[in-house]
A and B are shown apart, each in its own frame.
Chain A
Amino acid sequence: MDKDVLILAIESSCDETAAAVVKNGRDVLSNIIYSQIELHKLYGGVVPEIASRKHIEKINPVITAALDEANVTLEDIDAIAVTYGPGLVGALLVGVAEAKAISYAANKPLVPVHHIEGHISANYIENKDLEPPFLCMVVSGGHTHLVLVKDYGQYEIVGRTHDDAAGEAFDKVARAIGLGYPGGPKVDKLAKEGNSDAITFPKAHIQGAPLDFSFSGVKSAVLNYLNECHMKNIEVNRADVAASFQKAIVDVIVEHTMKAAKEYHIKKVALAGGVASNSALRGAMEEACSRRNIQFYRPSPLLCTDNAAMIGAAGYYDYMNGKRAGLDLNAVPNLKIGEKA
């Protein structure tokens, strides 16, 4: 490599205001995240308008901190990468407008980055040996995609959810058993005290689309079970419910991932997204991979949540591939993977 490439990355697609400086797509020089989660707990979920207001308040200090911590100035930066979708439109627009203005005033190229491609690329940061092709299971509050990463910047979705995202199901079940928001980590914790075989919840498969997912059925089954117990005056063992529900979700995710690995002859599997830090999912996926002699990758919990370092990693490869955005770049709330800006 001739010269190091430094990317300043900005992410504001949901409730984290984040900026990072990433060197050559793999080395994180800084990764600043301002999380608004406490603010949204009050409302039981992310309130878009509140999130957008907070982004405006925090974005400059977060970017400045990212540059400072990396010990660089804007002059040293080669390109600005920004998440332009998918996500909350008002939230995305803050990062997009800010990034465009910085890119214009500092005369640096602007690279539009897909949020999910960022999540996938978080794996490059901690696994320096990881190179495409590999299979990546992206699971978060808003997304459940089984993605075949053919090359840097080349993605094909081979499996997707037909209804709820996996993380959404976690949040809804958490609410139903009184755990509150955000549900994922709380279900994970409580499930450790429960018996995952205590209750059998359905594992949905989609007719004719063997790699796709459906999580609304299992969610409804949990709600029905709770309701039934309530009617019959049976005391609910919440830990058993959490463990059994979690198992139903995890089993399907692992099963489909293994099926895809076999079908596409892939020997590398990675996890990504917020739910990738779920301990049961990590454990089950790792075990399934090792049984099949598949190399397993995953980002650390910090890089599983929304952050800008992952946008810097994805942005680096997009930058090297010549991807650029103009001054009219807009936020695209329902941007598809692999779609052009």
Chain B
Amino acid sequence: MKILVLESSGLVASVAVVTEEKLIGEYTTNFKKTHSQTLLPMMDTLLKMIGIPVQEMDAIAVSGGPGSFTGLRIGSATAKGLGLALSIPIISVPTVDAIAYNLCGTDAVVCPLMDARRNQTYTGLYTFDGDQMKCISGQKAVMLGEIIDEINQLGRKVIFLGDGVPVFKPYIEEHIQVPHSYAPIHLSQQRAGALGALALQYYHEGKYESAAEHQPDYLRLSQAERELAAKKGQEKA
């Protein structure tokens, strides 16, 4: 079972190939170059390096959202194109879950924080039992204050990670009431390896879809839809 993993939900571009036994290769970059220019060349480099042609893959795993709308779609369209050409399924792994899985094994509560702009964060709360991840609070888009309140009520040690950490740290430090720490840089961002490890579990649980069916879960409507809904709400009121 070989899974090709694509992660382009944020600034990070990351690709990996995983099997049940090992992470055969992973290639991660984190700098401002569009995923349209990086993702496929990185994938090609990785596959050539490990000597496995893409035609030998059994499934494509992709970061299923939330994240940058455009970033998600580049990953999604790439996965869908590969899936279509190779007739293999897509395993869509929730982005926040995959980030949390970076810290698999910890006894603390894990809280990924993605910067969702407009003072919001894509986040969730997770714990681990061995390599099994348990979800206390599933991935969602909320105001930062909401998730910090939730953590304070939980009253347990927490580790923060994700690209939202540098942005939200001042607020966290001011409002957090439980022991907490921040993941080191190599674990703090999206990693195709972690996404792939989780994708293997998904696959064995039968959680995959056809390339035609797959689309990102944005967790958020487009601005135009939000404004239209707000307008309709006002008219009703």
Question: What residues make up the interface of A, taking CB atoms closer than 8 Å to B?
Answer: 42-43, 47, 49-50, 52-53, 55-57, 59-61, 63-64, 74, 89-90, 93-102, 104-106, 326-331
Contacts and interface: CB of A to CB of B under 8 A. Distances in A.
7 contacts: A47-B222, A53-B73, A59-B80, A97-B78, A101-B85, A104-B85, A105-B85
B77 A330 contact: no
A-B pairs with the 5 shortest C-beta distances? A101-B81, A105-B85, A97-B77, A49-B222, A60-B212
A330 B76 CA distance: 16
Interface stretch (B22-30, B187-195, B223-231): B223-231
Contacts of A327: 40-41, 44
Q: How large is the interface on B (under 10, 10 to 19, 20 to 34, 35 or more residues)?
A: 35 or more
B136 interface: no
Interface in B106-130: none
A49 B78 contact: no
Nearest to A60: B212
A79 to B, nearest CB: 14
Interface string B66-92: 000110011011111111111000000
Interface of B is mostly: helix
B84 A331 contact: no
A105 B81 CA distance: 8
A104 B54 contact: yes
B79 A101 contact: yes
A331 B222 contact: no
B223 A49 contact: yes
Contacts of A52: 69-70, 73
A94 B215 CA distance: 11
A93 B40 contact: no
B211 interface: yes
B69 A49 contact: yes
B155 to A, nearest CB: 40
B181 interface: no
A63 B82 CA distance: 13
B81 A100 contact: yes
A328 B41 contact: yes
Contact of A97 (B36, B54, B86): B36
A104 B55 CA distance: 10
Contacts of B83: 60
Given A61-B212, A327-B44, A330-B37, A102 B81 contact: yes
